[in-house]
A = this chain, B = another copy of it.
């Protein structure tokens, strides 16, 4: 028998049937009498960074806060997590209720929980990122919602908060630490673009390679080599030609591509 290290011996939790039965009974009794309110607990919310690329600009969906604290300030759509729903489910619900979107790419980003980030009480927020075709966002133009332009003050994947502006260049002073959350979303997205063509989530079902490149360039904040980009995308095996071409473009029309397995990303 191999015994490489002097750590404590890991005896198994149970040995014979009687002991196991006693143990189960004790656990059952414990669960029945457990007082779920015995400890002070933080509040837990989800906040969703809904990102889109429109006209070569990276934009984020903002909602006006209807209540205190930070009433009337712009903020990320968010909400408290219900006890019976999963984290992902809560994010999807917030997206549906507050931004009128469903069936979009959604992934967990990071959890923010500094004491004092909310003046009311201790709030821990699990941030999610959603990527949406801008055509779907303008279809859901509703009161109290706006798209803010994301200005990234750092290069590459340095990280840090970003500046959010209106289309006229007026700064939006986001509520809470939401500018940090959007910054983290941009950092994450830039990282993913280096090894996946995830930008297609920001485009319609069929798109040209040029459009995909523009999306990548907008997110990355730098221009890319056209030839190399085409080669990489086609070599990834994730795109397939539709056989269709764009129309009415004033130059040679480009082939339209689609993603082979949307779920694979």
Q: Quick check: which of A120-128, A224-232, A234-242 contacts chain B, the rest being far away?
A: A120-128
Q: Quick check: which of A97-105, A166-174, A207-215, A243-251 contacts chain B, the rest being far away?
A: A166-174
Q: Does A188 contact B (CB under 8 A)?
A: no
Taking the nearest CB of chain B, how far is it from the CB of A30, in angstroms?
4
Q: Does A8 contact B (CB under 8 A)?
A: yes
What residues of chain B lie closer than 8 Å to A122, measured between beta carbons? 83
Q: Are A86 and B115 in contact (CB under 8 A)?
A: yes
What residues of chain B lie closer than 8 Å to A120, measured between beta carbons? 31, 34, 36
State the CA gap A235–B115 with chains docked (Å): 41
CB contacts under 8 Å to B, within A86-133, are 86-87, 108, 110-111, 113-115, 119-122, 124, 126
What residues of chain B lie closer than 8 Å to A42, measured between beta carbons? 41, 44, 81, 83
State the CA gap A153–B70 with chains docked (Å): 48
Q: Does A142 contact B (CB under 8 A)?
A: yes
What residues of chain B lie closer than 8 Å to A113, measured between beta carbons? 81, 86-87, 126
Q: Does A223 contact B (CB under 8 A)?
A: no
Asked if A83 meets B23 with Cβ closer than 8 Å, knowing A8-B141, A68-B30, A146-B10, the reply is no
Q: Does A16 contact B (CB under 8 A)?
A: no
